[in-house]
Amino acid sequence: MSSHDDARLALLPLILWRTPPGLELILAQEGVSFETARSAHRLSFGGSRFVLYDGRSVPGKTLRGLLAPGQTAIDIDFLRAGEAVDPLVALIDDQAADHRWTVGGRGLVERVSRRPKAAIRRRLIERLRDRIWTLGGVWMRLAPFPYPYRSAFSLRADLDEPVPDDYHRFAKARTTLDGCATHFVSTHAYAHHASVVADLRKLDAQSHGHFHHVYSNASANGKNLERAHRILQGAGIEPVGFAAPHGRWNPGLDDALEDLGYLYSSDFQLGYDDLPFFPWKNGRFSRILQIPIHPVCEGLFVEAGIDDPATIGGYFHQVVADRAAAGELVVVYGHPERRLGRMPGVMAEIARSVADRAFLWRATLTEISRWWRWRGERKWLVLPRADGRCEIQFEEWDSRYPLAVAIERGGFRCAAPIAGPRTVLGLNSLAYERVQTLSDAAPVPIARAPSLKRVLRRALDWETATPIDELPKGTFGLEIKRGLRRWKQARARATA
């Protein structure tokens, strides 16, 4: 039986007190209502039933003296149990590592986020959800996609090289996916190809930078992005999104995107196969939304000696089917030049994988970013009512998108549409369905000591995309890079 005090306290939002940023990150991903207490005063903890704190940094005895009657303190340290590394630290880790996917007996290798953040999120949320239910609460979240969609699909195309004939072949094969395709354009490759630019102007086109490289130097990143931005604007395209070459991310790159006022980026060395999130950097959350993708492209198959379009297309088809069935975001990506433009069968299989899926939202990455940011701005609470009912209240009601709340318990879930600022739901009268889980196809980290060559390449930020005369100046390492580039160029001429 609930006490009188319990009956007056909101079931949501959850109140966070000195918890790690990783917890806030995944609660925002999940769409769970929460607020952060800012000071050690009873008024800061509001009128909500559950207060989450980290017993490693806050003595529980101290917190209990700040709570009102009926409030329950939950030490989130139990989320770390059985984990090889602190999962709340892993969720904000920004380092990358090589991983291997095995397909048809071949290894496909890509450098991605070194921590499996999506799997960590699912584990921690399941533990926290079960604890909340056990303590007499409810677990509701804003559905991750506009109602009535249960999953979402987008196609990402990276335009790296100036091969316009391949682009137009790709565009012909892409026709049925035009409305859910986002193109990231290297302006050095395509700024002077009018036919490609004219086609992109009708579609969702965003920035891939000018030169196809992410620099270690923050100033160089800023110049590269600003140059691409100006060129795209001059071509009649207003970019608000970015995808980093090779999926590489660093805080200086993110700073440059914030300076440009962009909405989102998509960098798989920071996160992959996950729900969108705002990364943690330099003691705060970034203003740039990250939209994770599935990082296996057709190029990895080719590099592994697999060039059969049926095999490659079949792989993408299965990725879409598995993630859509599990209610996840699925973004597949590839490259028109020399690959997808010459593999119409792969494009046809991707198109077939999304056809006839009634509850699959087909959207561009830009549309997804706008929805996700809107969803994250909603403020709402859940109040207990008699007979197992709950009242959901929204502040500043906004009907821009059709919204639903997802209610999860055990292995079952339901989605209830929300049509106004106040909705009363009887939790026992809703129709629940069993949650489908993702098949176990996680990549395997490749444990190998870095070679001297790789260490030097990273130290020098080695690349050949930038013309020598346009390489940034100012540090000893950059001057060594410039000298080595000139030496290699002279050697190539001498042996030609």
SS3 state of residue 362 = strand
Structure-token pair, residue 310: 């049926």
pLDDT of residue 6: 67
What's 379-423 look like in SS3?
Answer: CEEEEECCCCEEEEEECCCCCCCCEEEEEEECCEEEEEEECCCEE
Helix (H) or strand (E) segment spanning residue 204: strand 204-207
Residue 436 DSSP class:
P
- At residue 355, the pLDDT reads 95
CA distance 217 to 157: 26
* CA separation for the pair 209, 186 (Å, rounded): 5
Collect the ranges in the chain with pLDDT lower than 50: 1-4
pLDDT digit string, tens, across residues 415-474 = 999 999 999 999 888 889 988 888 757 899 998 777 777 778 887 888 888 888 888 776
Give me the residue label for tokens 């989130």: 76
DSSP codes, 239-299: --EE--GGG---HHHHHHHHHHT--EE--TTT--SS--BPPEETTEE-SSEE-------HH
Model confidence, pTM:
0.94
DSSP symbol at 106: E
pLDDT of residue 283: 96
The conformation of residue 233, written as its DSSP 8-state character, comes to H
pLDDT tens digits along 166-183: 999 999 999 999 999 999
DSSP string, 148-197: T-SEEEEEEEEE-S--HHHHHHHHHHTGGGGGGEEEEE-HHHHTT-HHHH
Neighbours of 322 (CB within 10 A): 16
| Residue 479, helix vs strand vs coil | helix
- Helix or strand holding residue 373 (H, E): helix 365-376
> What domains, with CATH codes, occur in the chain?
4-94+119-142+380-434 (3.40.50), 151-370 (3.20.20.370), 450-495 (no CATH)
According to the model, what pLDDT value does residue 5 have?
57
- Long-range contacts formed by 95-101: CB under 8 A, 24+ apart: 96/247, 96/248, 96/269, 96/270, 97/445, 97/446, 98/445, 98/446, 98/448, 99/443, 99/444, 99/445, 99/446, 100/443, 100/444, 100/445, 100/446, 101/296, 101/300, 101/441, 101/443
Closest by CA position to 464, among listed 212, 269, 238 = 212
CA–CA dist 49, 67 (Å, integer): 10
Q: Give the three-class secondary structure for 99.
A: strand
In this structure, the number of other CB atoms found within 10 A of the CB of residue 163 comes to: 22
Q: What share of the chain is helix, strand, coil (3-state, %, to 5)?
A: 40, 20, 40
Query: How far is the C-alpha of 496 from the C-alpha of 481, rounded, in Å?
Result: 22
